[in-house]
Structure formats: structure tokens, C-alpha cells
């Protein structure tokens, strides 16, 4: 017999309804209340995190400007074979004339010109020049008139570019982000002197790993000392660790410029001590060295705090027990204390590494041409060149690399071993 049923029938609640149904309604109300409490946070995450990522993913493949501005041209050019070695026929030029006439009136021809110019430099000036002269063209013999206007309208590279990017979606941004391009023969890498982004990605990953390792080497002894000191003393010294958070990032980076430049404080001090002569000053600025030094200083607190919080949970009795069993100080530290602090190293390492690969202000100011990150190029395309598609593709690529690194870390170390305290 059911627990909610007696010999006289089902158990009833105070309101006379079935106890089982009453309990189900109560549980359902609790779940609804819990969902309503979580809903604002979920909505906030969607608006501030998921929506920007979705928009970035869309912009990295979106190409509506070309088919919307040149609808007749993109449709007519589909019948043209880029491998023919000849420019399109009269029908394509007639479609281009009709589209340009409308685009010039709406002032959209400059937008499509900028989009195509990202792929093939020089097309923007061709479209702008044609836009100024389109009103003087007459009906008929469109190909002849376009070629008379500018001989580049007869060049294959112009029509190949329009043909490749005539669809609403494109892989061109992602190909550019890995230094590749799509030609009539297929996908191929760009010439070696034009490759940039793969090298920048490799440099970003390498320097971020170096910065993370440097932060571990510097942060571990500092966190160990703070955790070993009496609470009052460690709290006072912790203020020195937190002090950089109360100082502007721009001020801290500018301070490193003063310290690291060839006529700066560090070089002057070394010359004064006679360690180096005045003609052999160290090049610590506008290179990878300056980027590593400045970013290590900026990100060091993010390594110290997780390490300190984990070290405070390690009982001193562990070390005393190891020593009482005959272990030396080093053996007790390496075999007992250090393994207990690995979760703090993992948490600090992940935090520092993810922050490092996304930094662009500090590398921009102290890195020069050899110390900048791929994030600097993303910022450039978003704010200066306005090539948002390529900037979004680079951002997606960087996000993908982070997720892959995170997956590898989870498989090797285990994300369950990452703790903040």
C-alpha cells in the first residue's frame, strides 16, 4: 500500500485535496520561485556575455553588404567562369551600371567599396572613381564605357573578388585570420612577406606562457611568506599586493616606460654601478622583454591571491608530522606542502594566462613592433581600420584557442583541482 494512502483512502491535506497532489504543487512553486530568482542573473549573462559572443560569431561570417548593394551584379556574375581568363560579358557590366546608379544615389557604393577593399586593396578607389562618373554614362555599350572610365574594370582580380564575395556569408575573414586567401585555384597561404596573424598568435601564446611561469616563480614565494606570517603582519603586507589594483593601469605602464627605456632609471643605475658602460645600455623597451616585465608586474597579484588563499588552508601540522617522521625541510616541502598548493597554482595560472592573452594596452605601449599581441590587431581592426569582420574572426580564433587550452588543461590537471581557497 502506498505511503500516501491508508485503508480508508488516500491521505488528504488540510484543504481536503490529495496530499500527493498538494506536495507536487508545493514543489512546483518552489522550482518556479527558484527560477525567478535565477532569471535576472541568467538574463544579465545573456545580455553581457552570450549576446556579444553571438554577435561576434555572426560578424565573422556576415557579408550582406555586397549582395544587398550589388544585387543584379552578384546574380549576373554567377554565370561567369573566373578560370576563363577573360573579363565578364556585357550583361555583367550592364548589371553593375544599374546597381551603381542606385548605390550612388543611396551613397552605399563607398561601403561596398570598403568591404571589397579589405580583400583586394585598390578596389575602393575604383568604386569611388566610378561613383563620381556614373551619371555621365549613357545607355548601351556598358563594358566599353567602364573600360574607358578605368582600365581596371577589365582586370580579372576585380571581378574575381566580386565573384568570391557575392554571397551573404563568407569564409574570407577566417581565411585572412590564418594568413590564407581564396583564389580561383582554391585556398592557399598568402606570400610569406604578407603573413602576420599566425605569427602574432604564436607570439601571444608563447609570451602569455612565459608571463604565467614568471608569475608562478615570483608569486609562489611571496604567497608562502604571507601565509606563514602571523595574521596581523600578513594582512598589512597584503596591502602592498593589492596596492596595484588601486592604481591606474595606464599609470603603472607609464612608470615602466620611465624605468625601462635606454635613458631610464634601470639603465642609469647599472651604468652608475659600472655593470654596463654608457654605450651598451640594455634594450628593455619596445620589445618582448618590456612586454614580459610590465605584464608580469601587472598580473602578479592575480597569481598571489589564489596561492595565498589555498596556502592558508594547508595545516602547519602536515609539515611537522613529515619532519617528525625523518623528512628534511626540502623533502617535507616538496612531498607534503607543494602538492597541497597545486590547486592554487592551477587557479592562478589559468587566471593569469587568460588575462594575458587578452591584454592590449600594455603591449601597445611597451611592446613596440616585436612585443605586441594579437589582441592589439583586434583592437586596431575594431577601432581604426573598421574591419569588424576580420576583428571578429580573430576574436573567435583567440576564443577557440583558449577553449582548446582549457580542454587540454582539464584533461591533464583536472578542473576539479583548481581552487581559489
Mean pLDDT score, 200-227: 93
Q: By three-state DSSP, how is residue 179 classified?
A: coil
Q: In 3D, which of 311, 367, 304 has the Cα closest to residue 336?
A: 311
Cell digits of residue 244: 596595484
pLDDT in tens, 4-28: 555 555 666 566 677 677 778 888 8
Return the H-helix or E-strand segment holding 259: helix 249-260
Cell numbers for 126: 575604383
Note whether 396 and 216 are within 8 A (CB): no
186 falls within a domain:
no
Boundary residue ending a domain (24, 39, 59): 59
pLDDT of residue 121: 87
- What would the grid cell of residue 340 be? 597541497
Assigned domain for 305 exists: yes
pTM score: 0.81
| 1: pLDDT strictly greater than 60 | no
User: Which has the closest alpha carbon to 152: 111, 118, 185, 122?
Assistant: 122
The CATH number of residue 266's host domain is: 1.10.3720.10
Bridge-based pairing state of the strands 9-10 and 5-6:
antiparallel
* Segment among 5-14, 71-80, 150-159, 339-348 with least mean pLDDT: 5-14
Q: How confident is the model at residue 236 (pLDDT cuts 50, 70, 90)?
A: confident
Highest mean pLDDT among 169-183, 201-215, 397-411: 201-215
Q: Residue holding cell 552570450?
A: 50
**Mean pLDDT across 255-275:** 89
Q: Are residues 9 and 93 in the same domain?
A: no
Residues 253 and 294 in one domain: yes
Residues 240 and 340 in one domain: yes
Stronger pLDDT, 56 or 223, i.e. the higher one = 223
273 shares a domain with 159 = no
How large a percentage of the chain has pLDDT more than 90? 24
Residue 177 maps to a domain: no
Contact 61, 170 (CB under 8 A): yes
Residue 351 has pLDDT above 60, yes or no: yes
**Same domain (yes/no): 30, 87:** no
Q: Are residues 31 and 83 in the same domain?
A: no
Answer positive or negative: Cα dihedral of 178, 179, 181, 185: negative
Average predicted confidence (pLDDT) for the chain: 86
The DSSP H or E segment spanning 302 is: helix 288-311
Are 69 and 144 in the same domain? yes
Distances (CA, A) of 115 to 107, 119, 189: 14, 7, 21
Residue 250 lies in a domain: yes
Contacts of the segment 7-16: beta carbons below 8 A, 24+ positions apart: none
Kindly report the number of other CB atoms within 10 A of residue 71's CB atom.
Answer: 15
* pLDDT tens figures, 56-77: 889 899 999 999 999 999 999 9
Please state the domain count of the chain.
3
Whether 314 maps to a domain, the answer reads: yes
- Beta bridge partners, 187, equal 182
Share of the chain above pLDDT 70, in %: 93
Cβ neighbours of 226 (radius 10 Å): 21
CB contact at 8 A, 301 and 215: no
Q: 416 pLDDT exceeds 70? A: no
Tally the residues of the chain.
Answer: 421
Lowest-pLDDT range, 263-267, 295-299, 394-398, 411-415? 411-415
On whether residue 397 sits in a domain, the answer given is: yes
Q: Tell me how far apart the alpha carbons of residues 202 and 214 are, in angstroms, rounded to a whole number.
A: 18
Which residues, 6+ apart, have CB-to-CB distance to 231 below 8 Å?
Answer: none
139 and 205 part of one domain? no
> Measured between alpha carbons, how far is 293 from 214 in angstroms, rounded to an integer?
9
Q: Answer yes or no: is pLDDT of 208 > 90.
A: yes
Of the three residues 33, 59, 85, the one that is the final residue of a domain is 59
Same domain? 203 vs 322: yes
49/84 same-domain check? no
Find how far residue 168's CA is from the centre of its chain. 25
Kindly state whether residue 362 falls inside one of the protein's structural domains.
Answer: yes
Residues whose CB is less than 8 angstroms from the CB of residue 338 and which lie 6 or more positions away in sequence, other chains included: none
> What range defines the domain where residue 309 resides?
197-417
Q: Which cell numbers hold the place of 238?
A: 597584503
Answer whether residue 86 shows pLDDT above 70: yes
Q: Are residues 148 and 255 in the same domain?
A: no
Q: Is residue 178 part of a domain?
A: no
Q: Are residues 127 and 211 located together in one domain of the fold?
A: no
The string of pLDDT tens digits covering residues 368-405 is: 888 889 999 998 988 888 888 999 999 988 888 888 88
Amino acid at each position: 500500500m502506498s505511503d500516501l494512502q491508508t485503508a480508508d483512502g488516500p491521505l488528504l491535506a488540510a484543504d481536503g485535496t490529495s496530499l500527493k497532489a498538494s506536495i507536487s504543487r508545493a514543489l512546483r512553486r518552489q522550482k518556479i520561485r527558484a527560477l525567478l530568482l535565477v532569471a535576472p542573473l541568467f538574463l544579465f549573462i545573456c545580455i553581457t556575455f552570450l549576446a556579444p559572443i553571438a554577435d561576434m560569431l555572426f560578424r565573422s561570417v556576415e557579408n550582406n553588404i555586397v549582395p544587398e548593394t550589388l544585387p543584379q551584379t552578384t546574380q549576373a556574375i554567377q554565370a561567369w567562369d573566373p578560370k576563363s581568363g577573360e573579363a565578364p560579358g556585357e550583361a555583367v557590366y550592364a548589371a553593375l551600371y544599374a546597381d551603381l546608379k542606385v548605390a550612388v544615389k543611396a551613397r552605399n557604393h563607398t561601403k561596398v567599396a570598403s568591404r571589397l577593399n579589405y580583400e583586394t586593396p585598390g578596389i575602393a578607389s575604383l568604386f569611388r572613381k566610378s561613383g563620381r562618373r556614373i551619371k555621365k554614362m549613357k545607355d548601351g555599350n556598358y563594358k566599353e564605357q567602364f573600360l574607358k572610365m578605368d582600365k581596371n574594370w577589365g582586370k580579372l582580380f576585380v571581378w574575381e573578388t566580386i565573384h568570391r564575395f557575392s554571397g551573404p556569408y563568407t569564409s574570407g575573414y577566417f581565411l585572412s585570420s590564418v594568413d590564407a586567401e581564396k583564389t580561383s585555384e582554391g585556398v592557399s597561404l598568402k606570400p610569406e612577406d604578407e603573413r602576420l596573424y599566425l605569427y602574432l598568435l604564436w607570439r601571444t601564446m608563447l609570451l602569455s606562457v612565459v608571463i604565467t611561469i614568471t608569475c608562478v616563480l615570483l608569486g609562489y614565494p611571496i604567497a608562502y611568506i604571507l601565509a606563514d606570517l602571523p595574521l596581523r603582519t600578513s594582512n598589512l603586507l597584503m596591502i602592498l599586493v593589492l596596492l596595484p589594483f588601486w592604481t591606474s593601469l595606464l599609470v603603472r605602464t607609464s612608470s615602466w616606460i620611465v624605468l625601462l627605456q635606454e635613458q631610464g632609471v634601470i639603465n642609469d643605475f647599472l651604468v652608475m654601478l659600472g655593470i654596463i658602460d654608457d654605450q651598451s645600455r640594455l634594450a628593455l623597451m619596445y620589445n618582448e622583454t618590456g612586454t614580459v616585465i610590465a605584464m608580469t608586474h601587472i598580473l602578479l597579484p592575480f597569481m598571489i591571491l589564489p596561492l595565498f588563499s589555498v596556502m592558508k588552508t594547508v595545516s602547519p601540522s602536515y609539515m611537522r608530522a613529515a619532519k617528525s617522521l625523518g623528512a628534511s625541510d626540502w623533502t617535507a616541502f616538496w612531498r607534503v606542502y607543494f602538492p597541497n598548493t597545486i590547486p592554487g597554482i592551477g587557479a592562478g595560472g589559468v587566471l593569469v594566462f587568460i588575462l594575458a592573452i587578452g591584454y592590449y594596452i600594455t603591449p601597445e605601449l611597451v611592446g613596440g613592433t616585436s612585443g605586441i599581441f594579437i589582441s592589439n590587431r583586434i583592437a586596431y581592426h575594431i577601432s581604426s581600420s573598421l574591419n569588424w569582420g576580420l576583428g571578429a574572426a580573430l576574436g573567435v580564433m583567440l576564443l577557440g584557442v583558449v577553449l582548446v587550452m582549457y580542454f587540454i588543461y582539464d584533461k591533464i590537471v583536472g578542473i576539479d583541482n583548481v581552487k581559489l581557497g
